[in-house]
Chain A
Amino acid sequence: MNTLRIGFLRGNIEIKQFLRQKESVVFTLFFPLLLLVIFGSVFTQTIAPGVKLSQYFISGMIASGLINSGFQQLAINIPTERDNGALKRLRGTPMSPISFFIGKIILVFLTMLIQVFILLLVGGLFFHIRIPTESTIWLRFIWLVVLGSACSTVLGVAMAGIIKSGRGAPAVVTPIVLVLQFISGVFFQYDSLPSWMKQLAAIFPLKWLTQGMRSVFLPNSFAIREVAHSWELGRIALVLVAWLVAGTFLASRSFKWSRQ
């Protein structure tokens, strides 16, 4: 019980620290918004009756949002806290490591929610993004967000254990995310990519998360355009769970409280 209570107190501290660092707020929250504005302004052509190309790209933007708030944020934030002594100081207190990770999960969850909310709001108001109304689609959206965020979070912690220094972290993490975005159907239409690129992307979770989000934002008739001619929701869940398990294992092995 106490572990949970302190976990929520950690969450509060994490969020305070996040909101007070203007760079991280801009980087995490407004960068996706900026991309949405650019993409929404450029891709105005219609890809099916009543469906604009921007509807295709909002799926990728939201999937990317989950990667930003979990993987990218933690893989930079945790090595930084390791370098500045924050983690070592915490390790010297009776605080349970579980409380620490509850705090990080709260941070990821809140930044993720804000990103998704901003994207849907601005997309819906200014770029004619059609927001689903059916409850089954929303249910699908929720499990994709929860599973995707969980996966993104543990992979961020695992990556943080591999990265040597906080200062060098963005230089390692940002290109990984960028390349994944290019090959996973976030910046380009996935079906227009060369097949080797598609096969490479299919190893990583972002491709599957993006595909899942397409099943939320595009009409069912678009399923036929996917590689398997269906949304493959079962396989998406399977791949994400596999990455979640692998990521949890890696994170528990690689996590370090201090530099040496």
Chain B
Amino acid sequence: MSAAIEIHDLRKSYGKHEAVAGISLTIERGEIYAILGPNGAGKTTTVEILEGFRERDSGTVKVLDSDPGALGIHGSAWRNRIGIVLQSNSDAAELTVAETVHHFSHYYSKPKDPDSIIALVGLSEKRDARIRTLSGGQRRRLDVALGIVGSPEILFLDEPTTGFDPEARRAFWELILALKAEGTTILLTTHYLDEAEALADRVAVINAGKIIEIATPATLGGRHLAKATISWQEDGRVQRMISENPTRDVIELAARFTGEIPELIVTRPSLEDIYLTMIEGQK
């Protein structure tokens, strides 16, 4: 089976500003793929080209074997197979959650049961509430419900958890992992590195319209090879040591103390540290 999404040398400019400056990537079926990057890096432009909302200047794009920029009369059949969660909306304020999800389910040829989707996103208690009364996080979960009610093969999520409290984010992550378990391919853009780390099989870091690196969250920027930092308390102050072999060094250190090493911490650079270094390196 061919890849879910294939992009080659994608370019898009707004006037003189080159928002996407030659991006190539392949997303396999069933994969959760995260695009990371600062504001204005070209994430949303790229995703909106894949969703068929924007035209590109050049390059080739295939989403489920179709070119989203040249769908013609096949557009409806293609959209039947994808789900889109856009950035912030405030539409349908006067409809209820249940009315909206039920209504959208009619658009698709193989919809999921709307009520079980409402339950899945945790809005059962709000099913008869008007949408304008929902909190930001509830509203976002409704957006996701509308994106998945048609049983999409590919789900696009553009900054899905902006404005969520930590508990809602964890619940949302579980939902996304459940969709992946069903075989859904998911393309996620996010600012949150912990989100990419928790969900993504692979991440692409983009900045100024170009890909800096594509890797798994664990190996991004050589993170798995990076040296560890060991810190502890000795002689009345915090001691630090950069180590290539932290296990050996901790054992040696342990020999100097009777019992516990005071305030021992062993850290490796977080995904965020790596990411920030990569973005800084671009400037």
Contacts and interface: CB of A to CB of B under 8 A. Distances in A.
Interface of A: 5-6, 9, 13, 16-17, 20-21, 81, 84-86, 88-89, 91-96, 257-258
Which secondary structure dominates chain B's binding surface? loop
A190 to B, nearest CB: 40
Given A13-B95, A16-B95, A20-B94, A86 B80 contact: no
Interface string B85-110: 01011111111000100011011110
Given A86-B89, A92-B53, A13 B99 contact: yes
Contacts of B53: 88, 91-92, 257-258
B89 A84 contact: yes
B88 A13 contact: no
B127 interface: no
Interface string B128-158: 0010000000000000001000100000000
Contacts of A93: 79, 104, 107-108, 150
A17 B107 contact: no
Contact of B79 (A6, A85, A94, A257): A94
B94 A16 contact: yes
Which secondary structure dominates chain A's binding surface? helix
A84 B94 CA distance: 13
A84 B80 CA distance: 23
A248 to B, nearest CB: 20
22 contacts: A5-B106, A9-B106, A13-B95, A13-B103, A17-B94, A21-B94, A84-B90, A84-B91, A84-B93, A85-B90, A85-B91, A86-B91, A89-B146, A91-B53, A92-B53, A92-B79, A92-B84, A93-B107, A93-B108, A94-B76, A94-B107, A96-B76
A85 B142 CA distance: 14
